[in-house]
Amino acid sequence: MKPHKIVIIGGGFAGVNLVNGLKNDNRFHITLVDRNNYNFFAPLLYQVATGFLEVSNISYPFRKLFRGLKNFDFRMAEFIKVLPEQNQVQLSNGTLAYDSLVFAKGTETNYFGMENVKKYAIPMKTINDAVSMRNILLQRMEKATITHDREQRRRLLTIVVAGGGPTGVELSGMFAEMRKNVILKEYPEFAGSGAKIYLVDGGNKVLAAMSEKSQDDTYEDLVRIGVEVKLNKRVTDFDGARVTFDDGDFIETNTLIWAAGVTVGRVEGVSETAFTRGNRLLVDSYNKLLAYDNIYAVGDTSFSAEDPKFPGGHPQVAQVAIQQAQNLAVNFKAAKSDRALVPFSYFDKGSMAIISRNRAVADIFKFHFSGFIAWFMWLFVHLMSLINYRNRLATLYNWAWAYFTKDQSLRFIIRPDRKPENE
């Protein structure tokens, strides 16, 4: 009997966990498709961008990760279009036939139609984004050392982070720590420059998805370490030198880091009725697209209103992607064994965000944690979530060095792939 051919589009949390759930089962043949040849741990991207971790600390090649699996293939390609009638997907380097197709594409940056923001702001979604951001920030600091124009220096060194979610909070907190413990020691000429770090958000709270206690603790900690938090401020434009808000206010800066929204890339070839808000694909409780018999979506790409605990859909977080992929693997196996399928039910393990040295917040089940204990929990959870022991050991070493020395040594400008248009 020929194995059931499963094609997975996307090698993030969902894609990798689905492969792991089906590996070495000869009833299936899995082909994983991704534009990159590696998996990366997105929650730690900002630490690559700020020079605390190397790219290799949070990434791992797919072919090495799944080396030795007899029922696995990898295809490095861009997804172009699905052809449901032919049970094929069109890729940038050919076509693949499937018996079952799984979309696990994740999200991409949402600029809400603001072309200037898209053109000039720095996104934070991929490894390329993180390396590019590190290059740009370091280049601007070097440029600031030689300018004699006080206003130009202030614009070069002022940073605006848009988006008060975990990424925005963690980035702005990291910048504040770096300014205190690293930057002024190596660039003493920046003292008194008037440069500031802003965290801006269109809502009235940071970490809107977390508890009120976490929101309040985070706000207080950010202000304490020198971050200027501006709430109820929605960015409407950025021309490379000025961030403009919906109330007419503005901030003069060359650097806007965009962590304010995500969307799902459009999936070409499926019916328009398959989509809901944010281009997410409508699925049933088994993660199957409502309009198709053999096409599925998991993680950020999917939207289901059939989980009684989450009638408004599941949050777009890593744990949803992991659990949905694991459940789908169980159901693929159950279908082959003529067993009943298991509807997906999300088990929310909680949320956490790191703010600064020894400061974090965590909402675990019904309990709230803050300060050092939450900081330690954040470190442990993120360390153990890395994909293998090599990554964990390398990351632990870098974290320990940074903690005890209050420094980091990865501030290299290496082959910048994006030159800011306003420089």
3-class DSSP state of 218: helix
Is the separation of the CB atoms in 369 and 377 below 8 Å? yes
Structure tokens at 111: 């600029």
Positive/negative CA dihedral, 135, 137, 138, 143? positive
Structure tokens at 362: 């965590």
Structure tokens at 263: 């969307």
Name the packing angle between helices 13-22 and 318-336 (round to 10°).
30
Identify the bridge partners of residue 257 per DSSP, sorted by sequence position: 122, 161
| Residue 118 C-beta-side C-alpha neighbours within 13 Å | 9
Distance in angstroms between the alpha carbons of the first and the last residue of the chain: 61
Is the separation of the CB atoms in 86 and 281 below 8 Å? no
- Parallel, antiparallel or unpaired: strands 28-34 and 250-252: unpaired
d(CA 315, CA 301) in angstroms, rounded, equals 11
Compute how many other C-beta atoms are within 10 angstroms of the C-beta atom of residue 307: 16
3-class DSSP state of 342: coil
Out of 54, 115, 151, 170, which one is annotated catalytic? 170
Angle at 66 (CA atoms; ends 349, 93), nearest 5 degrees: 105
Is 85 a known active-site residue? no
d(CA 34, CA 63) in angstroms, rounded, equals 12
d(CA 41, CA 400) in angstroms, rounded, equals 19
Q: Which residues contact 419 (CB under 8 A, 6 or more apart)?
A: none
Is the separation of the CB atoms in 117 and 276 below 8 Å? no
C-alpha distances in Å from residue 103, one per residue of 166, 282, 418: 25, 12, 30
Strand blocks (E) in 62-163: 72-76, 79-83, 88-91, 94-97, 100-103, 108-109, 122-123, 159-162
Q: Catalytic residue numbers?
A: 170
